[in-house]
Amino acid sequence: MPKKVLKEFRVEYLQVLDEKGSCDETLMPKLSNDEIKKLYEMLVLIRVFDQKAFNMQRQGRLGTYIQFKGQEACQVGSAFALNDDDFIFPMYRNSGLLIARKHPMVQVLQYWNGDERGLKSPPNVNNFPISIPVGTQEIHAVGAAWAAKLRNTRQVAATYFGDGATSKGDFHEAMNFAGVFQIPVVFVCENNQYAISVPRKKQTHSETIAQKAIAYGFEGIQVDGMDIFAVYKAMKDAVEKARSGNGPTLIECFTYRLCDHSTSDDASKYRPKEEADEWAKKDSIERLEKYMRKKALLDDAYKENVLIKSKDIVEKAVTEFEKLPLPDPKDIFKYVFAEMTPQQKEEMEEMFGN
């Protein structure tokens, strides 16, 4: 009997800008010089923020913090392809994404200091709260995008998650539903090669994460996640496709976390130094600088100026944040449900008195 040949499970890999800052002009997305500068300035701003927030946590000025160093291009490149009234459903590693989506830095700091009000979306954008449970945000994004489809608002939802999250049932449910009902959602997987200490190869036997989309009946693409042009291009295409009623896309941003998992982690315990050093050479910011220098969009004075301005913006946000009153610890009990359960009331009284 002749074997029936099924479609190959192959996906495209997209890189526009290589590590040396050389650009494949045939793949270059349409971006003006001003837009390229905006992307660069945002990358620098969120890196400065990330380092400052980490330092503050170490100094006891912030409760906890999840760094995203190495993943800036995934977050900025994708944010720039969305409209303000599109929805984002982020994960804990997405402080940079929130900032790129006009979420006030002060509020981001407020959140990491234990005040949930930090995640209240500003009125001009649709930023959903970040999700600490791994993967739950994927189904929420599908729900919001489904509502947008039913209401015919032409809004798109984007959801962000790590390679580890793709092993969750939520991922299957979200992807399956999105495929069946052709939901206007973009799944952005920031594959940073590790789920805390679990390497990607122990997460899935698939060659890529992107190819998983094929089984759900839609397109998956793997992009160089440290190449901001590739991320932007893939996202722009996926968003346009979703907005015009042609369903979901899975974008796997192939990247690396150039930092610990969190402020309670030490990645040197499970990742070889040589590996991290190799990835650091691919860094999105240096790569873009090389490109911009070649195109006369960046010189030393501009670079210095961007850094000074970024530090100034971050310091002002920190000063404002440190003036805010701390949240009331009773809020932990008060706002889990609309009404406190009898047990919560009892616990609260036990802890704080009447």
Ligand X SMILES: Cc1ncc(C[n+]2csc(CCOP(=O)(O)OP(=O)(O)O)c2C)c(N)n1
Binding of ligand X at residue 27 (CB under 6 A)?
no
SS3 137: helix
DSSP 8-state symbol, 204: -
x/- letters, 145..174, toward ligand X (CB under 6 A): ----------------xxxxx---------
Active-site hit among 93, 200, 261, 271: 261
Q: Is 47 known to be catalytic?
A: no
Exactly one of 46, 100, 134, 213 binds ligand X (CB under 6 A); that residue is 134
Is residue 93 a contact point for ligand X (CB under 6 A)?
A: yes
270 part of the active site: yes
Residue 345, Cβ neighbours under 10 Å: how many?
A: 13
Rule CB under 6 A: choose which of 28, 132, 180, 351 binds ligand X.
Answer: 132
Q: Which stretch binds ligand X (CB under 6 A): 7-15, 50-58, 172-180, 187-195?
A: 187-195
Q: Least distance from C-beta 153 to ligand X, angstroms? A: 30
Does residue number 196 form part of the binding site for ligand X (CB under 6 A)?
yes
By beta-carbon proximity to ligand X, the closer residue of 16 and 209 is 209
Range 18-24 contact pairs with CB under 8 angstroms and sequence separation of 24 or more: 18/227, 18/287, 19/281, 19/282, 19/287, 20/287, 20/290, 21/287, 21/288, 21/289, 21/290, 21/291, 21/293, 21/294, 22/291, 23/229, 23/291
Largest CA distance in the chain: 79
Binding part of the chain for ligand X, among 188-196, 236-244, 273-281, 284-292 by CB under 6 A, reads 188-196
Among the listed ranges 101-109, 193-201, 227-235, 266-274, the one in contact with ligand X (CB under 6 A) is 193-201
194 binds ligand X (CB under 6 A): yes
8 A C-beta contact, residue 259 and residue 70: yes
Query: Minimal CB distance to ligand X: which residue?
Result: 162
**Cβ–Cβ under 8 Å, residues 290 and 21:** yes
Q: Is residue 192 close enough to count as binding ligand X by CB under 6 A?
A: yes
Asked if 140 is an active-site residue, the reply is no
Please report, as ranges, the residues that interact with ligand X according to CB under 6 A.
93, 132-134, 161-165, 192, 194-196, 261
Q: List active site positions.
A: 257, 261, 270
